[in-house]
Amino acid sequence: MAKTIERRDVVIVGGGPAGLAAAISAHEAGQTDILVLERDTQLGGILNQCIHNGFGLHTFKEELTGPEYAARYIERAAELGIEYRLGTMVIDISPERLVTAVSSADGITQVEAGAIVLAMGCRERPRGALATPGYRPAGVYSAGTAQRLVNIEGQMPGREVVILGSGDIGLIMARRMTLEGAHVACVAEIMPYSGGLKRNIVQCLDDFGIPLLLSHTVTRVEGRDRVEAVWIAEVDERMQPIAGTEVRYPCDTLMLSVGLLPENELSRDAGVQISPVTRGPVVDQSLQTSVRGVFACGNVLHVHDLVDYVSEEAAAAGANAARFVAQAQAETEADRGIPVVAEGGVRYTVPSFVSPQLMDDRLTVRFRVANVYRDHFVSVYLDDERIQHRKKRVMAPGEMESVVLRRADLLAREGLQRITVKLEEE
Amino acid sequence: MYDVIIVGAGVSGCAIARELSRHDCSVCVVERDEDVCCGTSKANSAIVHAGFDAEPGSLMAQLNVEGNRLMYEWARELDVRCDQCGSLVVCVSEDDREGLEVLRRRGEANGVPDLRIIEREELLGMEPNISDEAVAALWAPTGGIVDPFGLTVAMAENAAANGVEFRFCAPVSDVRRADGCWQVVAGGQALQTRAVVNAAGVYSDDIHSLFVGALGDADVAPAACGHVVPTDGFSIIPRKGEYYLLDTTAGQHVRHTIFMLPTKMGKGVLVSPTVHGNLIVGPTATDVEDKESTDTTAEGLAEVATKSALTVKNVPLREVITTFAGLRAHQSAHDFVIGEVAGDTGLFDCAAIESPGLTSSPAIGRMLADMVAGYVGAPEKAEWDGTRTGIPSVSDLSFDEWDALCQRDPAFGNVICRCRRISEAQIVDAIHRVPGARSLDAIKRRTFATAGRCQGGFCTPKIMEILERELGMSPQEVTKRGPGSELVVGYNKDRIAAPAGDAEGGEA
Amino acid sequence: MARETRELTCINCPLGCPLTVVLEDGEVISVTGNTCPRGESYGRKEVTNPTRIVTSSVPVDGSASERMVSVKTASDIPKDMIFDVVRALKDVRATAPVAIGDVVLADVCGTGVDIVATKGA
């Protein structure tokens, strides 16, 4: 490149809730040479279109809307004088932490980073990934796309709506569409339970008499140019449609809320190891990926349901990135630490490695469960010894869980080989 | 009065238009859809067939082999993505080995160069993911892959640059024959022409009948060229093919186009990389009634999944980003129907262009252009520019090259489709070309925006905004693929009653 | 005496207890099905005085960056007035500059609650 390569201590890829919290935390940890790269024309990420309330109960002890929650962080970043570039999309990250970005304003630019925080968020699973039979007409939208059309553009994607998938965005959009004058016929969910929060089922569906059809899926999309109807069938335990249960729902819109996928194409470019379960980077106690000096947080690491936890996690990643820069990258790569193993109903843990010597006094390990579990115990084992055993009334795949590891406990165990988080019936 | 009207702006119609534009004649392409490449041309395997399938001596065999050779030339002239990656017909049973020999001999009879039968070991070296059952394969180094949308668009643009007119949303509704000329009503407009080319894809039998029905007793003189189609016509059977398209993360799963040698158990499906770096798996072959039934079915998709495993191991179907179905214009004799309709009719059929129609299109274009130019007596132009430059694709460029484009036009720095990395400048370019994109899918065909792993989840609203801005449309006028496929239906609360009147609320 | 039974789902935690609330002459006489005190208070409030925050977005004029600005009721409004609030917002437009907290529509539907902007524009 003819242009000079900039050098910055901490480069943060993404200016959504994770990126902003990471930037603020890195600054508060003493690294002031921070650059946030954001591809959109404003900071705040997906929160800008999440205009409903319910954000920030943990962090601010009040109920904010998405834009308000984002504004708190944007204002704080501004107070700290954190530099950011909008309309700037990162197109490559090298394992040597050279970040290449493109923007209208500056064309291609390159920044050599002391540490990188990955905070690119996630994307929605599209219809194509479900291979739902039928035509491919206009009127099939992922819930997030519809949310943007309604909330940001002020446009109605349709009048008569069927929603597939009871993830929170789908539930939220059921209410949004209703309040903008559309009719939502039903929400179909292939699983026998909803992936959304109880609060959303009550306030977004029950309040408006919108039926939630559990163990149902869309088996066919009708309409060549624009959606004319969808067919919904009940499914069996193997999630296969049951013959004879198909019902035709005339509609002009099918909205999909069928899962979120961390967006890790850049991480892969950088050589970051990706977990097949979370589809996010494999990280250690400092949320550092398999590439030294590259940290990850928020939905790019694993999909969250509460932004408060994103902020909390991102703050840790930002502080650790700052610490990495301050220690002049003294840590050796050799030891990735003790593996944290997910077992018995625990799908994964973040982090998946812990170095007791390097961790804080307390470390939050977040995880998701594979099914709905009632009256089960969350247990933590250090090798074969159970050190935590906590009963939970209910756990569900839609809600993230966590345990806290104490440094002292881990250090007390000499020759510790593995830490196991699992669910037990008793 | 036009010299020639071409009915259908698919890959055949556009190839004919491009070749006719070499000649000094006025040409108009009428298309029922809103853009080029909206029928069979947009939903197929995107393969450049080597030419060993067709029966020696058939028109199909001749045009396939010639088309294969021309395709790589045209791709260079017209700046179209095309890759001579080679193809393999895989034999999965010792009992069927003889079938490979049959194919090789047939290919050689057709004039396909460099065919060779390779053994398992060599095959495994070329394709590490080949099935454990594979015993040998026919290697055809002239096989390849092409961008069918890019090819059709490029031929249309080149034709337009050389004077060919395009009319979209112009289905042919009425036809009259008077004084040795045709009067064609297309999209409500009455047009006159001396010659007509029927390149109407799955509707080519209907279009044939419509024109033949208008013929009078005067049109009985012998046809001007050697290829004659009887007036009583032919019947097109829409043959549905269903496909999976996998993410670029799976694009390297195979490196060549993998066909299965048909066995007693039937025909397999192909597994191939695409020029856009994806993996394509399909098609099925189901004869259907409805010429519009481009819907996928649970059975069809399941069949593709099962059959793909016969030749290739571990096709990562969890990486599927979309599924689609296309209709081939099959007719029972299984050969292309190309020629002048018997009599002095000025009516030329280009029909039953099923596989390998895409591969053959350059040769089809030449053949028909020669016939039609002869009929209308149009000499070649003294000057003709057969080259066309495509829309710059920033994702293919080095950082330096991309940066240089940004200096020229900052809109190259505004990435709209993040999955495929398509910039605003490319989308604007696609809109303002001739013929230009007027819908979301038209932009997809020209730039590949929305064709990535999120399938337009993030970029659809942004592209809608660009279409509104560049074409002065209202949001409700923006479509996915022409009238009837509007993307949004109104503004927020437009059906909510104002506070005073309670008649029409949104309550449940 | 008018006796009424209402079935609800508690929203306080993922447990989602099915609550049965019995009312007599509009007075709650029992809440059952809950597993914790939060369930009882939720049940009581939800049958006697259910309220909601309403969020929406309205067009904004004169903003270089935004077509719409998001809004909410500054505090809870009665649940049965959700659609009245939405109707009242039908023809409301904001004019830039708008800051978070700016009143876009005062005292919506006589509730005493303002509609305020939740985003700047």
> Do residues B209 and B348 share a domain?
yes
- CA A416, A422, A424: angle at the middle one, nearest 5? 125
Phi and psi at A301, nearest 5°, equal: -90, -50
Chain B residue closest in CA terms to A131:
B323
Interchain CB distance below 8 Å, A198 and C16: yes
CATH of the domain at C43: 2.20.25
Q: What is the pLDDT of residues A162-188, one digit of tens each?
A: 999 999 999 999 999 999 999 999 999
DSSP state of B399: H
Q: Whole-angstrom Cα distance, residue B320 to residue B406? A: 33
Interchain CB distance below 8 Å, A180 and B506: yes
Could you tell me the two tokens for A190? 């292939």
Q: Which of C49, C64, C82 is the last residue of a domain?
A: C49
> Do residues C7 and C33 share a domain?
yes
> Do residues B361 and B408 share a domain?
no
CATH of the domain at B19: 3.50.50.60
Q: Whole-angstrom Cα distance, residue A421 to residue A424? A: 10
Q: Whole-angstrom Cα distance, residue B218 to residue B191? A: 21
Cβ contacts of B506 on chain C, cutoff 8 Å: 83, 86
Cβ contacts of B499 on chain C, cutoff 8 Å: 84, 87-88, 90, 109
The answer to whether residue B504 sits within a structural domain is no
Interchain CB distance below 8 Å, A128 and B322: yes
Interchain CB distance below 8 Å, B499 and C84: yes
E strand or H helix at B327, and its extent? strand B320-330
Interchain CB distance below 8 Å, A126 and B407: no
Interchain CB distance below 8 Å, C118 and A68: yes
Q: What is the pLDDT of residues B34-61, one digit of tens each?
A: 999 999 999 999 999 999 999 999 999 9
> Do residues B267 and B399 share a domain?
no
The answer to whether residue B502 sits within a structural domain is no
Distance from CA of A221 to the nearest CA of C (A): 30
> Do residues C61 and C105 share a domain?
yes
Q: Whole-angstrom Cα distance, residue B113 to residue A364? A: 65
Could you tell me the two tokens for A315? 């703050």
CB B84, CB B377: distance < 8 Å: no
Q: Which of B344, B376, B408 is the last residue of a domain?
A: B376
> Do residues B135 and B241 share a domain?
yes
Interchain CB distance below 8 Å, B497 and C57: no
Cβ contacts of C68 on chain A, cutoff 8 Å: 151-154
**Cβ-count burial of B43 within 10 angstroms (0-12 exposed, 13-18 middle, 19+ buried)?**
buried
> Do residues C44 and C65 share a domain?
no
> Do residues C64 and C111 share a domain?
yes
In chain C, the number of structural domains is 2
> Do residues B411 and B423 share a domain?
yes
Nearest Cα to Cα of residue A46 among A121, A119, A118: A121
Report yes or no on whether pTM surpasses 0.80: yes
Q: What's the whole-number average pLDDT of chain C?
A: 94
Q: Enumerate neighbours of B (3 or more CB pairs within 8 A).
A: A, C
CB B429, CB B411: distance < 8 Å: no
Q: Which residue has the tokens 């994770």?
A: A18
Q: How far is CA B8 from CA B5, B198, B353, B386, in A?
A: 9, 7, 12, 21
> Do residues B98 and B27 share a domain?
no
Q: Is the pLDDT of residue A99 over 90?
A: yes
Interface with chain A: mutation pick from B35, B202, B319, B455, highest number of A CBs within 10 Å: B455
> Do residues C64 and C113 share a domain?
yes
Q: Which residue has the tokens 């108009």?
A: B28
Instruction: Quote the domain boundaries for residue C81.
Output: 55-117
> Do residues B126 and B189 share a domain?
no
In chain B, the number of structural domains is 3
> Do residues C81 and C109 share a domain?
yes
Q: Is the pLDDT of residue C108 over 80?
A: yes
What average pLDDT does this structure show over B143-155?
98
Strand duo A98-103 + A260-262: pairing: unpaired
Instruction: Show Cβ contacts of residue A7 under 8 Å, excluding neighbours closer than 6 positions.
Output: A111, A112, A114
> Do residues C66 and C85 share a domain?
yes
For the four alpha carbons of B181, B183, B184 and B190, in that order, the dihedral sign comes to: positive
Cβ contacts of A154 on chain C, cutoff 8 Å: 57, 59, 67-68
Q: What is the pLDDT of residues C10-62, one digit of tens each?
A: 988 767 888 999 999 989 999 999 988 999 999 999 999 999 999 999 999 99
Cβ contacts of B486 on chain A, cutoff 8 Å: 138, 226
Q: Which of C26, C49, C72 is the last residue of a domain?
A: C49
> Do residues B253 and B320 share a domain?
yes
> Do residues B360 and B337 share a domain?
yes
Lowest mean pLDDT segment, chosen from A190-204, A225-239, B458-472:
A190-204
The answer to whether residue B61 sits within a structural domain is no
E strand or H helix at A391, and its extent? strand A385-395
Could you tell me the two tokens for A130? 């479900």
Which alpha helices (DSSP H) does A11-93 contain, by range?
17-28, 66-79
Q: What is the pLDDT of residues A14-40, one digit of tens each?
A: 999 999 999 999 999 999 999 999 999
The answer to whether residue B442 sits within a structural domain is yes
Q: Whole-angstrom Cα distance, residue C59 to residue A415? A: 63
Q: Enumerate neighbours of A (3 or more CB pairs within 8 A).
A: B, C
At B503, the pLDDT band (50, 70, 90 cuts) reads very low
> Do residues C60 and C8 share a domain?
no
> Do residues B323 and B204 share a domain?
no
> Do residues B280 and B428 share a domain?
no
The answer to whether residue B382 sits within a structural domain is no
Q: What is the pLDDT of residues B212-260, one digit of tens each?
A: 999 876 666 555 556 788 878 899 999 999 999 999 999 999 999 999 9
Has B276 been annotated as catalytic? no
pLDDT confidence of residue B268: 85
pLDDT confidence of residue A331: 53
Instruction: Quote the domain boundaries for residue B472.
Output: 394-492
CATH of the domain at C74: 3.10.530.10
A residues 177-206 lying closer than 8 A (beta carbon) to B: 178-183
Instruction: Show Cβ contacts of residue A269 under 8 Å, excluding neighbours closer than 6 positions.
Output: A92, A93, A94
Grouping H, G, I as helix, E, B as strand and the rest as coil, residue B82 is strand
Helix, strand, coil % in chain C, rounded to nearest 5: 20, 35, 40
Interchain CB distance below 8 Å, A128 and B321: yes
Grouping H, G, I as helix, E, B as strand and the rest as coil, residue C28 is strand
The answer to whether residue B172 sits within a structural domain is yes
Distance from CA of A134 to the nearest CA of B (A): 4
DSSP state of A351: S
At A9, the pLDDT band (50, 70, 90 cuts) reads very high
Q: Is the pLDDT of residue B507 over 50?
A: no
Instruction: Show Cβ contacts of residue A211 under 8 Å, excluding neighbours closer than 6 positions.
Output: A186, A187, A205
Phi and psi at A95, nearest 5°, equal: -60, -20
> Do residues B137 and B241 share a domain?
yes
Cβ contacts of C109 on chain B, cutoff 8 Å: 499
**Interface check B506 vs C, CB under 8 A:** yes
